[in-house]
Amino acid sequence: MESHEWRERTEEGLRFYRANYHAGRWTFLKTLKTDPDWETVDPVPEELWRELRDVLWRKYQRKRCPWKYIEEIDKLLGDEPYQK
């Protein structure tokens, strides 16, 4: 299982997101800095998919993530994948 995390500032406070890739499926979790429990995000909004793609793109450039993850998300979003 691979986990990819990012955070953003919201009106509620600092929100953390985690995307886990296991057995060919993505699962998304979120929490606030003040809340110790993670909650599942289902259904996943498009903006979270785009944030994950951005995180993976930056990791791919540093050779920390395989290209297939980015292609998979591009297909899911209906975007034309970039040809290497």
Structure confidence by residue, pLDDT tens digits, 19-78: 999 999 999 999 999 998 999 999 999 999 999 999 999 999 999 999 999 999 999 998
Measured in residues, the chain has a length of 84
Place of tokens 């944030």: 51
Q: How many CB atoms lie within 10 A of CB 44?
A: 15
Q: How many C-beta atoms surround the C-beta of residue 64 within 10 A?
A: 10
pTM of this structure: 0.87
Domain-by-domain residue ranges, the chain?
Answer: 2-77
